[in-house]
Amino acid sequence: MSKQKLESMSLRQRIIWLTSGAVFIIGLLLVIFVNLIAPIFITREVGSPDTQILINTVDAKGNPITVLAETPGPAGYTLWHDTGFSRADPLLVVRILSGIGLISITGVGFFAARLVAKESLKPVTHISDTARQISVQNLDQRLNYQGESDEIKTLADSFDRMLQRLQTNFEDQGEFISNLAHELRTPLTSLRMNLEVLNSGPQAKLEDYQGFSATAERSITRLERLVEDLLLLAKAEREIDCRPIILGVLFEDILEELTPIAERENVELKMSGDLDLEVNGDPVLLNRAVANLIENGIHYNHPGGFVEISACKADNQVIIEIKDNGIGISESQQSHIFERFYRAEAGTANQNGKGLGLAITAHIIALHYGRIEIKSELGKGSIFQIYLKPAN
């Protein structure tokens, strides 16, 4: 049977045919073995058929009998060789019986394999029937297989864990779409309201149009940044343009870009550590990831505060640390700050944020096979640490 034909069969059919084939091969090997050793033992025990003849004699009561004996016969007996008598070849009998036995065993093995396959695959059939009933509408349903701790239970438990992940992903996706719709609606609503006010006043002045223009520019800028953030979140690993990056150069570019914002918020920017360290990564993406953390440190700070970025190497990893003395993040919120559209609740929180900055940062670090950790305390500030592999 060809491999392609075997793969096209159902699991039950494959079990039946493979088991039957194994029984046939084992039986065939046994038949071959018996036929190889039979001539040796039959010849030694019986001797040559040519030395055997029929003897006509009488028993103890004088009744005539015919017996088969080896020649020469006992003294005093009359020997008579029946030329019409033919004795079956023992080896031929062994071969015939072996063939019949092989066919019988194979047939029994085939039906036994069908029974075993049917009973063994009952749990799989149950799992398949249950899984077929699960859809997007009832992802909370589970197999809850309670059988023996074997491969079938391992499969069922793995399927339940997969359903849990799917349910979580669908829920996250629904929440993401809802939040995204809200973020898109806010600038669009602002544009719509200002446009309606402008159209409702026939005596609109130049100042009114200038005010609408400023509102429209802010809304469009917000939409553009939102679209850019979403594209970054959707960026796949294959799009990463990895190259050696000197951290000192990366830090200088980021601080130069964010200095105007820091000066406006009266927050000092610092840079320290081993600035000659190199990592492999996408310069644009890593710039955005680190810049998001520094910008958060600026916005969630207080006048006279600072944000310091540094680099060091430990345990064959490069650690980028962003430290601030701002408002800090509560322990209950720290596990959520990397979620999309999540904004920490704080009295001085940046209300203009979209809740995507830290999600983008975590996504970019993950694409670089790194990790990000946070240490924070309310009223004392936060420390973000990015762990990356050094450049070879």
For residue 72, cis peptide bond before it (omega within 30 degrees of 0) = yes
Whole-angstrom distance, CA of residue 256 vs CA of residue 252: 6
Whether 366 and 235 have beta carbons less than 8 Å apart is answered as no
Whether 17 and 1 have beta carbons less than 8 Å apart is answered as yes
Task: Give the CA count within 13 Å in the CB-facing half-sphere of 45.
Answer: 8
The answer, yes or no, to whether residue 5 has pLDDT greater than 70, is no
The answer, yes or no, to whether residue 382 has pLDDT greater than 90, is yes
3-class SS of residue 377: strand
3-class SS of residue 190: helix
Whole-angstrom distance, CA of residue 329 vs CA of residue 321: 16
pLDDT of residue 47: 42
Whole-angstrom distance, CA of residue 133 vs CA of residue 161: 17
pLDDT digits (tens, 9 = 90+) for 346-363: 444 444 455 677 888 888
Q: Is 341 left (phi over 0), alpha (psi -120 to 50) or beta?
A: left
3-class SS of residue 82: coil
Whether 167 and 137 have beta carbons less than 8 Å apart is answered as no
Where would I find the beta strands (DSSP E) of 217-333?
Answer: 243-246, 268-273, 278-281, 306-314, 317-324
pLDDT of residue 210: 78
Domains in the chain with CATH codes: 3-120 (no CATH), 151-233 (1.10.287.130), 241-388 (3.30.565.10)
Whole-angstrom distance, CA of residue 17 vs CA of residue 9: 10
Whether 348 and 327 have beta carbons less than 8 Å apart is answered as yes
Q: How far is CA 133 from the centre of its chain?
A: 22
Q: What does the pLDDT average to over 268-274?
A: 94
Whole-angstrom distance, CA of residue 323 vs CA of residue 243: 26
pLDDT of residue 343: 59
Lowest mean pLDDT among 180-189, 328-337, 380-389: 180-189
The answer, yes or no, to whether residue 386 has pLDDT greater than 60, is yes
In 3D space, the residue among 320, 316, 247 whose CA is nearest the CA of residue 279 turns out to be 247
Q: Which residues pair with 268 in a beta bridge?
A: 306
Whole-angstrom distance, CA of residue 227 vs CA of residue 7: 47
The answer, yes or no, to whether residue 124 has pLDDT greater than 90, is no
Whole-angstrom distance, CA of residue 279 vs CA of residue 271: 17
Select the more confidently predicted residue: 147 or 160: 160
pTM over 0.75: no
The answer, yes or no, to whether residue 79 has pLDDT greater than 50, is no
Q: Which residues of 5-28 are buried (b: 16+ CB within 10 A; e: fewer)?
A: eeeeeeebeebbbebbeebbeebe
Amino acid at 378: L
